[in-house]
Chains A and B, each alone.
Chain A
Amino acid sequence: MSSAGRQTAPIALLCAAVTGALAAHPALATGLLHLAPAIGLLLLLALGRYVGEGRIARFAERRVRRPVRGRATAPALLRARARGLARGGALLGASLAVSAFALPDAAVAHGIGGVSDLPIPGWLFAWAAAAVLMLSFVALGVLWPRRAWRACAGASC
């Protein structure tokens, strides 16, 4: 904890500096709004708070223990991964549905122009994306307890 403690101060300072710099200018304020989830996560880490760590570990342990009784490990892992993939796909589909729902035809007819006039504020998309990533992180922690992908041998790998 001592080495971690020593590095906490610079990270907290960095967070404060980034936040201050972004908030200082109105043009950068939207950036701050976009980056708020990342800054929040970084602050938690800087403070040494690993929210939900125990719960992820408990769920992951339960998942590792269960397959040993029934089937061999590999198919169980594969099933877990398939389920994880299905959930990831559902999340992606949901985000796609949100973005499609969020943009009625009024926003069309711009061609390849920018999307500066979204009916939903842009930072909301950033927050939704951050939520998807956080869910993926938890899902990986619980459903992917062992190394599954290895380097393959061969010239063109």
Chain B
Amino acid sequence: MAAPRLEGLRRRELLTLPRWLDPVAGALGVAVTALVATSALAGTTDAATNLAPTFVWVVFWVALPLASVVLGDLYTPIDPWRAIARLAHRAIRRTRAGRTTRPRRRGIAPYPVALGRWPAAAGLAAIGWVELVWVRRDDPRALGWLILGYGAVQLAGMARYGIVAWRRNADPFAVYVHVVAHVAPLVTEGRRVLGRAPLTGLPSLAVVPGTTAALCALLGTTAYDGLSRGSLWMRVAPGAAGAVGDLGLSPAVAGEVLGTLGLALAVALVAGVYGAGVLGMRRLSRGAEGAALGARFAHSLVPIAVAYVVAHYFSLVTVQGQALAALASDPLGSGANLFGTASLTVNYGLLSAATVWGVQVVALVAGHVGGLVLAHDRALTTFSSHRRAVRSQRWMLVVMVGFTSLGLWLLSGA
């Protein structure tokens, strides 16, 4: 396993985190989750004045992964379900240790290898569906129950397969943050924080089954976000929704059916473009299986997924994120003013259209250049000669140019 590394790529130890940080971060995560869930279930039902919708869709779903792209995996320390599971694990171990000498890990089953990250891929597609298709996506009550349901599933999974194995494979959000954190120039090993060049963590991403699918789900849902706001979709959707509605469905349900189809189409399109690139590369590799080759290059999709998220959501984070100041002072929408910030308003003019477009173009191009670099480096070990490797990368070039153009088309209003 201990592969030699080039001098310049050695990771440098920066600092050691204090021992109390992990439990404190866990307690903070549990407290914030409790606050958001309370706000969702007991606060106002108005989405704009309830803390939960903004917190879930801006902080949790976009800002936390993006911060992890810079600072390393931030979700693991503050994951409330991990904190609860660890506490429960410790309590059970203590009571058992007092009573009997039976093996402690009796209840934990090995995680099925073949299942891999497929549960996370399905979960990410489901979260994307809730965010972009579901009519009640901003309904605080619905979100509250979803938070609790999500937590229940994660706790059950961690109890069955162990905290680390479950979070690495099946917890959708933990997998999402774990994967994109490989881009970060910082990585935490135990309590040590190491520095490394950005992107150099990605070649060591463990591409277990389902990882490519999880990345395609991420890319596809983000692409659908752009597609569903573009003029093309606006032009096609009403007629198609009418056709679906003729089957006897209410307009809302017809819209959801259509959105589901669009989402599935977007994910399939992304998977198809990547699959076509892999198919092309396979012509140049002797004997490599298509699936294995697809997994070997899957890590080059990570910077693209990050770029798509930045391009589509950074304006949401900077604009709607401002609402947090007011919402934090009045989480239930009951007229409270805890920090004296309840009357702050959102400055919608903070970002000009030019700034937004500039960031989007640069993010997309930078992400795809990063993908090309990673794929090129991997090709040099996959193919028998430099010439073959470069040849294979023409297929990745097509994939990257296709994704960039598609992204720019969707962002410019399709």
Q: Do A and B bind each other?
A: yes
Binding site for B on A (CB under 8 A): 3-4, 7, 11, 14, 27-28, 30-31, 34-35, 37-38, 41-42, 45, 50, 53, 56-57, 60, 74-75, 77-78, 81, 88, 91-92, 95-96, 99-100, 103, 105, 107-116, 118, 122-123, 125-126, 129-130, 132-134, 136-137, 140-141, 144-157
Binding site for A on B (CB under 8 A): 1-9, 11, 187-190, 199-204, 229, 231-232, 235-236, 276, 279-280, 283, 315-316, 319, 348-349, 351-354, 356-358, 361-362, 364-366, 368-369, 372-374, 376-377, 380-381, 386-387, 390-391, 393-395, 397-398, 400-402, 404-406, 408-409, 411-414
- Report how far A42 CA is from B351 CA in the complex, Å: 37
What residue of chain A has the Cβ atom nearest to residue B349's Cβ?
A111
- Report how far A134 CA is from B230 CA in the complex, Å: 28
> Is the CB–CB distance between A109 and B349 below 8 Å?
yes
CB B363 to nearest CB in A, in angstroms, measures 10
Neighbouring B residues of A88 by C-beta, 8 Å:
369
Q: A130-B401, A132-B369, A133-B401 are in contact. Are A30 and B409 (CB under 8 A)?
A: yes
What are 30 A-B contacts defined by CB distance under 8 Å? A27-B231, A27-B235, A30-B409, A34-B409, A35-B409, A37-B401, A41-B394, A45-B280, A45-B395, A45-B398, A50-B391, A53-B390, A53-B391, A57-B387, A57-B390, A78-B8, A95-B361, A108-B352, A109-B352, A125-B408, A126-B404, A126-B409, A129-B365, A129-B408, A136-B373, A140-B373, A149-B377, A152-B3, A152-B11, A153-B1
Q: Which of A78, A91, A130 has the most CB of B within 10 A?
A: A130
- Report how far A131 CA is from B401 CA in the complex, Å: 9
Q: A28-B232, A156-B187 are in contact. Are A110 and B369 (CB under 8 A)?
A: no
Neighbouring A residues of B6 by C-beta, 8 Å:
74, 77-78, 148, 150
Neighbouring B residues of A14 by C-beta, 8 Å:
276
What residue of chain A has the Cβ atom nearest to residue B409's Cβ?
A34
Neighbouring A residues of B276 by C-beta, 8 Å:
14
CB A64 to nearest CB in B, in angstroms, measures 8
- Report how far A88 CA is from B414 CA in the complex, Å: 28
- Report how far A150 CA is from B8 CA in the complex, Å: 12
Neighbouring A residues of B381 by C-beta, 8 Å:
147
Q: A88-B369, A152-B204 are in contact. Are A108 and B398 (CB under 8 A)?
A: no
> Is the CB–CB distance between A129 and B405 below 8 Å?
yes
List 9 other contacts, CB 8 Å, given A50-B394, A152-B11.
Answer: A38-B398, A96-B361, A109-B349, A112-B315, A112-B319, A112-B348, A115-B356, A137-B376, A140-B372
